[in-house]
Amino acid sequence: MRQINTVIDSFLVKTGLSKGVGQQKALEVWEEVVGKKISENTEALSVKHGVLYIKTHSSAWAQELQLKKKEIILKINKKLKKKIIKDLRFM
């Protein structure tokens, strides 16, 4: 008998929904990946076509995070165990 998570994963792949689920997980791990200080000054809004949209409390935060973009993308994808996020957009 197969485990339920194996069955669900198989279903998501067959129906093409696995990418969307992975993108949703990126929103859920944002706080854990970036830490408390950054998460207090940002909000992960949505993911579309591999681009994670982040609302920042100020342009200074957007600029600071722009400098850390590659590092954050690597951390998110490592946490998700897949290359799901390709870019970050700060607003």
pLDDT in tens, 6-39: 766 665 466 555 555 566 788 889 999 999 999 9
Instruction: Judge whether 9 and 29 are in contact, CB under 8 Å.
Output: no
Write down the pLDDT at residue 25: 83
- Asked whether the predicted pLDDT for residue 41 surpasses 90, the reply is yes
Domain map of the chain by residue range?
18-90
Question: What's the CATH number for 18-90?
Answer: 3.30.300
Residues sharing a CB contact under 8 Å with residue 44, sequence separation 6 or more, in sequence order:
26, 27, 30, 31, 52, 53, 54
